[in-house]
Amino acid sequence: MIISSAPMTMAKYFTIRNNYFTALSVILAFLTTALGDSLSLLYLARPEVPMTMATTDSQRKFTNPSNYYFPHDRLTRVMRDSSKIPIVLVACGSFSPVTYLHLRMFEMAKDYVRQNTDFEIVGGYLSPVSDMYKKAGLLSANHRVEMCTIAADDISMPWLMVDPWEALQSYQRTAVVLDHFDHELNIVLGGVQTEDGEHRNVQVMLLAGSDLISTMSEPGVWSHEDLDHILGRYGCFIIERAGTDVDQAIDSLARWRHNIHIISQLIQNDVSSTKVRLFLRRGLSVRYLLPSRVVDYINENNLYIDEAAAAEKEKGKGKEHQLRKIEESCA
């Protein structure tokens, strides 16, 4: 149970993510220079969103948004190996839009779990953040949930689901989100079973990139009680991400080190939603950076239209040649 939490602002959190964003800035600065304007800086603007901290209790009754049901159709209810500990992976984030790297995080975690742990993954969830998070480029929750649902609806990932609980209400801290999963999986559904019919509680674990974990070392972004709750009670898998020094990121999290699993990216790939939005804004192709059906959804619904309109405007300013050059270099 979390007893208290210190007030803090999301502005500070976004400032602290600068390590990652500095690396991203270099890439964006390159594109910006090539285009000869400063529009891409808009993407780096961090919002001023106050995050009011409330108390949480894992035993509390959760209020669900209307018409909400907890998705569990792809949850493995009977474990394959009773000697293992059943876990569910939860990835929290904006997913604006969801990319292949978000999906790949689950695959990397699956390999790591099989090779290095006594866990058995019985399900995975994408949990898009609420609109109240107000991060730059955050599309409405309905669209983000829909894009995640399309992305997760892939027969090659039959254990991945999208939970709209967090997205469809006011901002919820990650500790509360993990409590919600714990409640739904273990209290409402009653956990899972072994082949012999023995009941097992499911261990909820956070799945995140190292840019997110680096913010946990900084005072004022996450309360100590929340960190203790997330890393002490639940635990997490951290996917290495270019631009973040993982060792430095977890330096001050040493007391929970046994519950923090670091997963190296053997093939460096730093696709990000920011870059995808930038490409869309420039009218560049984003195919093969995210599932085709998500690209179709974006096009059909004219999403990130402001960005596309900005690109049109640039063409009007006679920058077609430069755009073509970038497009060619990205082909």
Ligand X SMILES: Nc1ncnc2c1ncn2[C@@H]1O[C@H](COP(=O)(O)OP(=O)(O)OP(=O)(O)O)[C@@H](O)[C@H]1O
Ligand Y SMILES: NC(=O)c1ccc[n+]([C@@H]2O[C@H](COP(=O)(O)O)[C@@H](O)[C@H]2O)c1
In this structure, are strands 50-51 and 8-9 parallel, antiparallel, or unpaired?
Answer: antiparallel
x/- mask, ligand Y, residues 207-246, rule CB under 6 A, reads -----x--x-----xx---x--------------------
Out of 174, 186, 214, 272, which residue is the one contacting ligand X (CB under 6 A)?
Answer: 272
Nearer to ligand X, 122 or 129 (CB): 129
Stretch touching ligand X by CB under 6 A, among 73-81, 90-98, 150-158, 255-263: 90-98
The first and second tokens of residue 162, run together, are: 């999208």
Segment holding 227, helix H or strand E: helix 224-227
Q: Give the closest residue to 71 by CA, choosing from 150, 178, 189.
A: 189
Out of 107, 153, 228, 270, which residue is the one contacting ligand X (CB under 6 A)?
Answer: 270
CA-CA distance, 205 to 182, in Å (whole number)?
10
Q: How far is the CB of 212 from ligand X (least distance, A)?
A: 4
- Closest residue (Cβ) to ligand X? 209
Peptide bond preceding 128 in cis form (omega within 30 of 0): no
Q: Is 211 in the site for ligand X (CB under 6 A)?
A: yes
Nearer to ligand Y, 178 or 192 (CB): 178
Q: Is 5 in the site for ligand X (CB under 6 A)?
A: no
Q: Give the closest residue to 161 by CA, choosing from 133, 126, 208, 131.
A: 126
Exposed/middle/buried for residue 155 (C-beta within 10 Å: 0-12, 13-18, 19+) = exposed
* 239 contact choice in ligand X, ligand Y, none (CB below 5 to 8 Å, kind-dependent): ligand X
The first and second tokens of residue 9, run together, are: 């602002």
- Binding-residue total with ligand Y (CB under 6 A): 15
Q: How far is the CB of 81 from ligand X (least distance, A)?
A: 28
* 226 contact choice in ligand X, ligand Y, none (CB below 5 to 8 Å, kind-dependent): ligand Y
Secondary structure of 45-82 in the HEC alphabet? CCCCCEECCCCECCCCCCCCCCCCCCCCCCCCCECCCC
* 174 contact choice in ligand X, ligand Y, none (CB below 5 to 8 Å, kind-dependent): ligand Y
Nearer to ligand X, 19 or 273 (CB): 273
Q: How far is the CB of 187 from ligand X (least distance, A)?
A: 26
Nearer to ligand X, 186 or 274 (CB): 274
Nearer to ligand Y, 106 or 133 (CB): 133
Q: Is 102 in the site for ligand X (CB under 6 A)?
A: yes
The first and second tokens of residue 75, run together, are: 């949850």
Cβ pair 283, 308 in contact under 8 A: yes
Q: Is 204 in the site for ligand Y (CB under 6 A)?
A: no
In our burial notation (b when 16+ CB lie closer than 10 A, e otherwise), range 268-287 reads eeebbbbbbbbbbbbbbebe
For 10, 235, 262, the CA distances from 245, given in Å and listed in that order, are 22, 20, 12
Exposed/middle/buried for residue 228 (C-beta within 10 Å: 0-12, 13-18, 19+) = middle
Q: Is 91 in the site for ligand Y (CB under 6 A)?
A: no
What's the N-to-C CA distance of the chain in angstroms?
51
Nearer to ligand X, 153 or 270 (CB): 270
Chain residues that interact with ligand Y, rule: CB under 6 A: 13, 92-94, 129, 133, 135, 173-175, 212, 215, 221-222, 226
Chain residues that interact with ligand X, rule: CB under 6 A: 91, 93-96, 101-102, 105, 137, 208-209, 211-212, 239, 241, 269-274
